[in-house]
Structure 1
Amino acid sequence: MGSKSAQGDRCMSLKKAATAVREKAYAPYSNFKVGAAVRGASGAIYSGCNVENVAYPEGTCAEAGAIAAMVAAGETKLTEVVVIADSPLPISPCGGCRQKLAEFGGPDTPVILLTVQGQEQVTNLAELLPGAFSTEHMEKS
Structure 2
Amino acid sequence: MSLQIETYSADDSAHVAQTTSAYGITAEQFSALRQRAVAAKSTAYCPYSKFRVGASLLTHEGAYIDGANVENAAYPVGTCAERVAFGKAVTEGHKKFKAVAVATDISPPASPCGMCRQLSVPPSQKLILAGRSMSSILLAQISVGLLHDRMLTMVARSIREFCELDTPIIMFDKDAKYVILKLEQLLPLSFGPEALLEPAIA
Does 1:22 pair with 2:28? no
- Find the counterpart in structure 2 of residue 124 from structure 1: 182
For the aligned residue pairs, the C-alpha RMSD in angstroms reads 1.4
Give 3-state SS (helix, strand or coil) of 2:100's partner.
strand
Give 3-state SS (helix, strand or coil) of 1:52's partner.
coil
Runs (5+) with no aligned partner, structure 2: 1-19, 120-158
- Find the counterpart in structure 2 of residue 113 from structure 1: 171
Give deviations 1:27-55, integer Å, cap 9, x for gaps: 10000000001111111000000000011
Distance in 1 between the 2:169 and 2:75 partners?
26
- Find the counterpart in structure 2 of residue 80 from structure 1: 99
Supply the AA of the counterpart residue of 2:107. Answer: P
Is the 2:41–2:68 Cα contact (8 Å) retained in structure 1? yes
Query: Which of 81, 94, 97 is the equivalent residue of 2:116?
Result: 97
Return the offset for 1:16: 0.8
Runs (5+) with no aligned partner, structure 1: none
Poorly superposed stretches of 4+, deviation over 3 Å:
none
TM-score, length-scaled by structure 1: 0.93
Return the offset for 1:102: 1.2
Distance in 1 between the 2:194 and 2:96 partners?
18
Percentage of identical aligned residues: 39
TM-score, length-scaled by structure 2: 0.65
Distance in 2 between the 1:135 and 1:112 partners?
24
Kindly report which structure 2 residues correspond to 1:28-43, keeping only aligned pairs within 5 A, or say none. Answer: 28-43=47-62
How many correspondences in the alignment?
A: 138
Work out which structure has the larger RCO, using CA pairs closer than 8 Å and 6 or more positions apart in sequence.
2
